[in-house]
């Protein structure tokens, strides 16, 4: 049977131990691995591996020796409880070795969980699971996590008391990070809040969120957008010493002011626009970007984008003779002065 994405989220949390098996396939190996961990843990419990109720094998090994899968499915465990056989890295070439063992499955045998990469609709392995009355096939797409998936992750991490603003920032963070990084961030948040009974607030999210690799450039963008022209020179000297390139500054400037323009120019207003920008902004930075966009307004932001575009063209011009970093610094000062008007 084929599981829809909405049904799959619930099934991974509470799988049926009486099913023949589950095929999880898709392009993102990390997402598949996380879903596989979730469903296996739900089937065998936290002690399943220690009690030898979980068998692991590679699909390539099964292809060389198909009997090993049948033996693992039929084996009788020493400890009571559901048993799982996990087969990883399957592909269409492994179908002839996998399908006969699944066809021989009987009630009481171990459930088979198989992970695979992209499988075409014509795939024999995929078609077998989708047509099977007692097995499931679930496709994992590269879409941002749903609200249900985020809440499931929060429950698993033990986070229950969240302010609405904190939940909003976590949702934005989930859309910005890959699933593995997001789960690690939640684990950091649990440790951060250990012994603290107060609700989770946006400041807590900002404290554990992954730091930007371009923090210095981001600081410079904020200085310009907030018209603090007297602070541009010292920070530029620091960035120059760190080896930051003028083109990188120009790209960061363009990205930041495009974000401000998208927020300010949204038909539903800036408060709605801040929720639509991609990549999303969260935590204290969300409030900062919103405040900057409202302070500049659409007209001045259009003029700022024109200034940045002209600077970028000048940097790339073969006829340019002025020092590139000085050219960018002058542009930054002009933008900061424009922000004051």
- The answer to pTM > 0.95 is no
CA nearest to 10, candidates 177, 171, 109, 148: 148
Single residue among 81, 114, 140 that ends a domain in this structure: 140
Positive or negative torsion for Cα 24, 30, 33, 35: negative
15 with 125, same domain: the answer is yes
Which CATH number goes with the domain that contains 278?
1.20.272.10
Question: Is residue 339 a contact partner of residue 226, using CB atoms and an 8 Å limit?
Answer: yes
60 with 88, same domain: the answer is yes
| Model confidence band, residue 51 (pLDDT cutoffs 50, 70, 90) | confident
Question: What average pLDDT does this structure show over 250-277?
Answer: 87
User: Is 215 a residue whose pLDDT tops 60?
Assistant: no
79 with 157, same domain: the answer is no
Token pair for 158: 């033990």
Residue 315 CB neighbour total at 10 angstroms: 19
Question: What average pLDDT does this structure show over 89-104?
Answer: 94
177 with 290, same domain: the answer is no
Which CATH number goes with the domain that contains 9?
3.40.50.300
pLDDT tens-place string over residues 272-317: 888 888 777 776 678 888 888 988 888 889 999 999 898 888 888 7
Number of domains the chain contains: 3
78 with 152, same domain: the answer is no
247 with 262, same domain: the answer is yes
Question: What average pLDDT does this structure show over 76-84?
Answer: 86
Question: Is residue 305 a contact partner of residue 262, using CB atoms and an 8 Å limit?
Answer: no
What's the pLDDT score for residue 103?
A: 94
What's the pLDDT score for residue 196?
A: 83
197 with 327, same domain: the answer is no
Single residue among 193, 208, 223 that ends a domain in this structure: 208
Single residue among 208, 223, 251 that ends a domain in this structure: 208
What's the pLDDT score for residue 213?
A: 42
What's the pLDDT score for residue 2?
A: 92
13 with 125, same domain: the answer is yes
7 with 103, same domain: the answer is yes
15 with 103, same domain: the answer is yes
Residue 177 belongs to what domain range?
147-208
Q: Which region, left, alpha or beta, applies to residue 125 given φ > 0 means left and ψ of -120 to 50 means alpha?
A: alpha
151 with 131, same domain: the answer is no
Q: What percent of the chain has pLDDT over 70?
A: 95
78 with 59, same domain: the answer is yes
Give strand pairing partners of 137.
2, 23
- Strand 2-3 to 111-116 pairing: unpaired
Helices (H), 209-323: 215-225, 232-241, 246-264, 270-273, 283-316
Give strand pairing partners of 90.
116
**243-276 burial string, b = 16+ CB within 10 Å, else e?**
ebebeebbebbbbbbebbbbbbebeeebeebbbe
- The CA-atom distances, in angstroms, between 12 and each of 30, 96, 106, 153 are 15, 27, 22, 12
Q: Which residue has the tokens 């399957």?
A: 90
């Amino acid at each position: 049977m084929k599981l829809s994405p909405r049904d799959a989220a619930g099934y991974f949390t509470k799988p049926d131990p009486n099913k023949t098996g589950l095929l999880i396939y898709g392009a993102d190996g990390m997402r598949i691995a996380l879903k596989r961990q979730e469903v296996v843990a739900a089937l065998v419990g936290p002690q399943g591996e220690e009690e030898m109720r979980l068998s692991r094998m590679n699909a390539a090994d099964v292809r060389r020796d198909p009997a090993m899968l049948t033996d693992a499915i039929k084996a009788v465990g020493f400890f009571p409880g559901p048993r799982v056989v996990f087969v990883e890295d399957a592909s269409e070439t492994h179908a002839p070795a996998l399908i006969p063992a699944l066809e021989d499955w009987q009630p009481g045998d171990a459930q088979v969980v198989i992970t695979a990469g992209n499988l075409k609709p014509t795939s024999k392995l995929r078609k077998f699971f989708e047509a099977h009355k007692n097995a499931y096939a679930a496709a994992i797409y590269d879409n941002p996590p749903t609200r249900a998936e985020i809440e499931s992750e929060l429950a698993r991490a033990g986070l229950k008391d969240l302010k609405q603003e904190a939940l909003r920032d976590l949702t934005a963070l989930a859309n910005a990070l890959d699933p593995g990084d997001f789960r690690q961030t939640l684990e950091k948040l649990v440790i951060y809040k250990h012994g603290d009974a107060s609700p989770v607030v946006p400041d807590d999210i900002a404290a554990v969120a992954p730091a930007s690799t371009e923090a210095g450039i981001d600081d410079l963008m904020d200085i310009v957008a907030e018209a603090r022209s007297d602070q541009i020179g010292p920070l530029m000297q620091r960035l120059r010493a760190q080896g930051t390139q003028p083109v990188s500054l120009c790209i960061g400037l363009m990205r930041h002011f495009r974000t401000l323009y998208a927020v300010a120019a949204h038909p539903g207003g800036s408060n709605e626009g801040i929720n639509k920008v991609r990549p999303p902004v969260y935590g204290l930075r969300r409030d900062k970007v919103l405040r900057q966009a409202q302070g500049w307004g659409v007209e001045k932001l259009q003029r700022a984008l024109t200034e940045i575009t002209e600077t970028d063209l000048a940097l790339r011009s073969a006829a340019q003779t002025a020092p590139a970093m000085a050219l960018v610094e002058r542009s930054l000062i002009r933008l900061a002065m424009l922000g004051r008007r």
